[in-house]
Structure 1
Amino acid sequence: MPDGAPIVGPDPASDAPSGPRPRRRGRTTLLIATAAVLGLVAGTCTGFVIQAHREPTRLPSLSQPVVARAKGPGPEPLSAAQDHRVKTDGDLRKLLIPRPKGKKALDWAPEEDGWLDLGAYADSLTHADRVFGDLVAAEFRRAAGVSWSEGSTGSTEVRLVQYRQEETLGASERASRWDVDGARGYDVPGAGDGMAYLFDAERKPGYLPLYKALATASRGDIAMEIWIFDSKPIPKQKIMDLAKRQLERL
């Protein structure tokens, strides 16, 4: 090689081997893959052929067997102890606690033969005009009451007011809507929303002081209210006892 000649790559005309040649695998791999696919297709076709020659499996019937109706009389209607509506849909006056023996009915009591219609009940309350509309909206159905005098200055009034309760819970709403500002409130045992209230005396010149107590509660579609008025303080136990006795009858 002459001095100063450039260095170039290997001479393609040289007889010397340039290194080991790679083996060609493409054709063999393709043949193996094709055989595997053909085997899978053949197995699937064989499965369909076998299944086609089998008898179809019967499915269970969608219809259910008819159950024969039991013979004999139907079930007895629920008693009043089992069905609240049996009791409350009857004569509402029979659910009132009785007037104590020896006590006289109030001359000015709003009930007539134990019943109060919507107008009579509303007129017995403060703000009668407004209350009348409230009672209509609350789906007033009917009311019953009993009252008696206590000595020369006291009186007691017990009322049961029933509501239709087709769209509103009139009984429970009414039992919680009394104006009891400033009164001392006590829970009535055995009644979820039962409350008893003792009010401070109302005093006016020339008149005896007026004390009052109130008990309210609801059972189903009936709202209970008990009022006691007197010129002397009313014991808490007195209003509580009346409330318990009346609730036991509902």
Structure 2
Amino acid sequence: MGTPLESRERQVVEVLERLYEEYPEPDISLEFSNRLELLVAVVLSAQCTDERVNEVTEELFEKYRTAADYAEADEEELAEDIYGITYHNSKAGYLKSAGEAIVEEHDGEVPDTMSALTELSGVGRKTANVVLQHGHEVVEGIVVDTHVQRLSRRLGLTEETAPEKMERDLMEIVPEDDWKEYTHLLISHGRETCTARNPDCEDCVLEDVCPSSRLDSEVDLADGSEW
């Protein structure tokens, strides 16, 4: 049986309040100067760190400036240009195909709808949400990356595991005005404190409201119960 909706709504309000105080200016860490660069960066960021993506795109964006540049690129050369990115060969194919579609179907401009974006190669709902939010100022949902998945479950905000189901679940309890920032707040906290392997519960601003706190687990274990 899941946690009641009202309880999760109260929990997310408390979480947001504390994280806004801890991270007053949450924002995307990928570096870009236009919508096409944003799209490319987000496609490359799948299962790869933003830091590594920023290193690679610094030169990539000098060489490939338009959708046509990606469409006309030699795929092997493009793969070499993004070498060091996880699955660089596959992603080179995605970028070339997406470039072709943008040129042929969208007059060379990155589309501004969820349906059009998700028709592009290498673009799922998460990527489309990022492009809409940061490229077009359109907020249709919540970007669910690995940090959002991990922290949302740890905090008892959702029991879903599939990203799209989790997004729908979170959209029911996170105030719509906070959908965009919710992702960046959890990413910041996931990187700084609530890491995947070794969360620093002792230095966490959410420790006393987190059902997954390891400090609570130590007390439970001392009482002879399981964590």
TM-score by length of 1: 0.20
- In terms of fraction of residues, the more helix-rich structure is 2
Report which of the two structures shows the higher radius of gyration computed on alpha carbons. 1
Which structure carries more strand by proportion?
Answer: 1
Q: Which has the higher contact order (CA 8 A, sep 6+)?
A: 2
